[in-house]
Amino acid sequence: MPVTTQVRVRYAETDQMGIVHHSRYLIFFEQGRTDWLRAAGSPYGKLEEQGFLLPVTRVEVRYRRPARFEDELIVRTTLVKATVVTLDHRYEVLRGGELLVQGESTVACVDREGRPRTLPDALRAVLSV
């Protein structure tokens, strides 16, 4: 089930083309993923405190229409795949009913030294992995 995040476009997120700079969507996706983790009962701040880090290992984005200053956007975040060490999410950025941008990411669970480690039990229980 998708988790939704609201974002109002900030002036600093535009570029001289008058649209939201394409790099900012990765930050919107990250907000979506943060809200998804919180909804799954494992807020990311807590995970990091316990030594579970989730760096991004892959991102893919398709930009269909530009967003603009002060637009009210919705980011819809869905889990599309989970293993014991990785999570794949899909993101849709919408304005009104209109799809502007879609993307996917993979995050991999590592410890503070960057070595792979399995996701925490509480999260694995929720995901059945």
Which residue numbers are catalytic? Answer: 15
Q: How many CA atoms lie within 13 A of 25 on its CB side?
A: 30
**Residue 82, interface with a copy of itself (CB under 8 A)?**
no
In eight-state DSSP terms, residue 36 is H
Query: Cα separation of 24 and 13, whole Å?
Result: 7
Query: Cα separation of 81 and 88, whole Å?
Result: 5
**Min. distance of Cβ 13 from a copy of itself in angstroms?**
8
**Min. distance of Cβ 98 from a copy of itself in angstroms?**
14
**Min. distance of Cβ 117 from a copy of itself in angstroms?**
15
**Cβ 68 vs Cβ 18: under 8 Å:** yes
Which one of residues 56, 80, 84, 99 is an interface residue with a copy of itself (CB under 8 A)?
A: 56
Choose among 15, 122, 20, 12: nearest CA to 73: 20
Which one of residues 36, 44, 52, 91 is an interface residue with a copy of itself (CB under 8 A)?
A: 44
Which one of residues 10, 50, 81, 99 is an interface residue with a copy of itself (CB under 8 A)?
A: 10
Neighbours of 110 (CB within 10 A): 17
Taking the least distance from each CB to a copy of itself, the nearer of 14 and 77 is 14
Could you list the residues that contact a copy of itself (CB under 8 A)? Answer: 10-12, 14-19, 21-24, 26-27, 30-31, 34, 43-45, 48, 53, 55-64, 66, 69-70, 114
